């Protein structure tokens, strides 16, 4: 079964991080607040299947105008919106009016302009309420009739025919004429990612737990178990939510097998208050039998985690994550999205994350490890 990475990533974000805060440290809390949170969780599960409907009710705005208004410093789309299906439907069906080479990066992509002026990024098939990743939906594209007639000369110059298949290799760091992406005939299966509004410019940061990518040279975090103490003394990790965002992201990356988050983006001029935006997830879902534990280094070296994240992860054990992901991805035009071995691997990795947090609570106590969402590093 082929993998459709970016659709899976959005589904995981929806499943893992869209619920409200739940207190499950020992699974014995029966307070009224917790019972309501459990009901909220069940409502979330019931709403995972997003119908891609073309209608936008009670508004004269275009789907692109609605999506642009969703973006705020801590999320790129709201927790509950009736227009979500219509926006994703537009992403998967609106006419392509222009096609160009993708923006800078290591992976093949094309920048498309859809009817109505909306930018999207198309990535060919290649192999948590964070709401911190742009919307993604699967799409089948006819390269001959939909892309080539509206392609720029720069993109068109990378097209070729291999056998009976239309192919292109685009422009990127690893893009080679000898390794094009090929359609099945003229039809290419891929994902479409909604471009963030221009009024929200991005700022790039080096990830404090990034790898050196130099043979024989380790990053400091790979040999210094007290490395997190140094990180906590540097901006923007010495205050605000950024370090907790880094740890949330490590959990997400471990689940999807992404050991390549060397940089990350936030909104500009945020003074450390905006979210860590999950944009570069291309090197994910490789070998389902391989677990790269070092991805969790921010978690096991800092030994702190948001209470809400801990609770959500607890809710998803015992096969709930696999079941919820299947439901969340079942609506997609390119469903089925992920193979059973990868779904099983997600469930196993979830258990490893829970065990890591338990080791931290056994060593330091839950009062130190489990951090209330309203708290920042300046309170710790």
Q: How confident is the model at residue 336, as a pLDDT?
A: 75
Task: Yes or no: say if 217 and 162 are a contact pair by the CB < 8 Å rule.
Answer: no
DSSP-assigned beta bridge partners for residue 136: 193
Reply yes or no on whether the pLDDT at 379 is more than 60.
no
Q: How confident is the model at residue 155, as a pLDDT?
A: 94
Whose tokens are 């096609």? That residue is 99
| Residue 196 annotated in ligand binding | yes
> CA 191, CA 295: separation in Å to the nearest integer?
25
Mean pLDDT computed over every residue of the chain: 83
Determine, yes or no, domain membership for 11. no
| Residue 292 annotated in ligand binding | no
Which of 17-31, 176-190, 199-213, 313-327 shows the lowest per-residue confidence on average (mean pLDDT)?
Answer: 17-31
Which of 59-63, 77-81, 252-256, 297-301 shows the lowest per-residue confidence on average (mean pLDDT)?
Answer: 77-81
pLDDT band at 11 (very low <50, low <70, confident <90, very high): low
Which of 148-152, 222-226, 335-339 shows the lowest per-residue confidence on average (mean pLDDT)?
Answer: 335-339
Q: How confident is the model at residue 8, as a pLDDT?
A: 58
113 and 94 in one domain? yes
Residue range 340-365: mean pLDDT, rounded: 95
Q: How confident is the model at residue 43, as a pLDDT?
A: 65
| Chain centroid to CA 370 | 23
Which of 86-95, 191-200, 296-305, 327-336 shows the lowest per-residue confidence on average (mean pLDDT)?
Answer: 327-336
DSSP-assigned beta bridge partners for residue 182: 167
What does 331-370 look like in DSSP terms, one character per residue? Answer: TSTT---S-HHHHHHHHHHHHHHHHHHHHHHHHH-HHHHE
Q: How confident is the model at residue 275, as a pLDDT?
A: 82
Count: domains in the chain: 2
Which phi and psi (to 5°) does residue 244 adopt? -65, -35
Four-CA torsion 190, 267, 220, 289, nearest 10 degrees: -20
> CA 10, CA 278: separation in Å to the nearest integer?
10
Determine, yes or no, domain membership for 186. yes
Reply yes or no on whether the pLDDT at 32 is more than 60.
no
365 and 216 in one domain? yes
| Residue 209 annotated in ligand binding | no
Residue range 179-188: mean pLDDT, rounded: 95
* Nearest Cα residue to 276 out of 375, 178, 207: 207
Whose tokens are 């809390």? That residue is 29
Reply yes or no on whether the pLDDT at 178 is more than 80.
yes
Q: How confident is the model at residue 9, as a pLDDT?
A: 59
346 and 309 in one domain? yes
Task: Yes or no: say if 202 and 196 are a contact pair by the CB < 8 Å rule.
Answer: yes
190 and 210 in one domain? no
Reply yes or no on whether the pLDDT at 141 is more than 90.
yes
Task: Yes or no: say if 329 and 337 are a contact pair by the CB < 8 Å rule.
Answer: yes
Is 332 a known active-site residue? no
DSSP-assigned beta bridge partners for residue 118: 114
| Residue 148 annotated in ligand binding | no
Of 37, 100, 253, 260, which is the active-site residue? 260
Task: Yes or no: say if 191 and 136 are a contact pair by the CB < 8 Å rule.
Answer: yes
| Residue 265 annotated in ligand binding | yes
234 and 183 in one domain? no
* Nearest Cα residue to 50 out of 137, 132, 112, 133: 137
pTM over 0.85: no
222 and 358 in one domain? yes
217 and 173 in one domain? no
pLDDT band at 28 (very low <50, low <70, confident <90, very high): very low
Q: Which helix (H) or strand (E) holds 204?
A: strand 202-206
**Domain stop point among 178, 194, 210:** 194
| Residue 53 annotated in ligand binding | no
Most confident by average pLDDT, 119-128, 147-156, 284-293:
147-156
**Domain stop point among 194, 225, 258:** 194
User: Could you give the percent of the chain with pLDDT greater than 70?
Assistant: 80
Q: What is the pLDDT of residues 261-288, one digit of tens each?
A: 888 888 886 666 778 887 777 677 888 8
| Residue 370 annotated in ligand binding | no
Residue range 89-101: mean pLDDT, rounded: 93
CATH number at residue 271: 1.10.1070
Cα torsion 100, 103, 106, 112: sign: negative
Q: Tell me whether the omega of the peptide bond preceding residue 369 falls within 30 degrees of 0, making it cis.
A: no
Q: How confident is the model at residue 132, as a pLDDT?
A: 63
Structure tokens at 305: 């985690």
248, exposed or middle or buried, with CB in 10 Å at 0-12, 13-18, 19+? buried
358 and 226 in one domain? yes
Q: Which helix (H) or strand (E) holds 119?
A: strand 118-124
β pairing state of 370-371 and 305-306: parallel
Q: How confident is the model at residue 2, as a pLDDT?
A: 46
207 and 144 in one domain? no
| Residue 98 annotated in ligand binding | no
């Amino acid at each position: 079964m082929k993998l459709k990475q970016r659709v899976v990533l959005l589904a995981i974000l929806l499943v893992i991080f869209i619920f409200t805060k739940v207190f499950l440290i020992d699974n014995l809390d029966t307070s009224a607040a917790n019972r309501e949170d459990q009901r909220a969780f069940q409502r979330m599960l019931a709403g995972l299947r997003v119908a891609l409907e073309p209608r936008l009710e009670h508004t004269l705005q275009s789907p692109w105008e609605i999506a642009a208004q969703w973006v705020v410093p801590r999320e790129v789309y709201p927790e509950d919106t009736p227009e979500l299906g219509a926006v994703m439907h537009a992403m998967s069906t609106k006419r392509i009016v222009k096609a160009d080479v993708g923006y800078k990066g290591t992976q093949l992509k094309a920048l498309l302009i859809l009817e109505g002026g909306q930018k999207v990024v198309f990535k060919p098939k290649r192999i948590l309420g964070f709401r911190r990743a742009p919307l993604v939906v699967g799409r089948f594209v006819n390269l001959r009739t939909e892309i080539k007639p509206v392609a720029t000369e720069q993109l068109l110059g990378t097209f070729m025919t291999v056998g009976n298949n239309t192919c292109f290799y685009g422009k990127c760091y690893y893009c080679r004429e000898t390794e094009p992406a090929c359609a099945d005939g003229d039809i290419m299966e891929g994902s479409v990612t909604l471009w963030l509004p221009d009024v929200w410019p991005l700022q790039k940061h080096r990830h404090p737990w990034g790898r050196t990518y130099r043979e024989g040279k380790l990053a400091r975090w790979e040999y210094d178990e007290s490395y997190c103490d140094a990180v906590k003394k540097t901006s923007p990790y010495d205050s605000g939510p950024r370090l907790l965002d880094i740890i949330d992201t490590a959990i997400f990356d471990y689940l999807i097998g992404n050991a390549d988050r060397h940089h990350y983006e936030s909104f500009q001029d945020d003074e450390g208050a905006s979210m860590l935006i999950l944009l570069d997830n291309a090197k994910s879902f490789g070998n389902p039998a391989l677990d790269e534990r070092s991805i969790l280094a921010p978690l096991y070296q800092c030994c702190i985690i948001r209470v809400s994240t801990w609770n959500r992860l607890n809710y998803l054990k015992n096969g709930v994550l696999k079941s919820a992901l299947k439901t969340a991805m079942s609506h997609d035009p390119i469903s089925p999205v992920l193979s059973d071995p990868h779904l099983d691997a997600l469930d196993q990795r979830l258990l490893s994350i829970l065990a890591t947090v338990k080791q931290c609570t056994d060593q330091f106590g839950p009062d130190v490890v489990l951090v209330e969402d309203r708290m920042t590093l300046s309170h710790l």
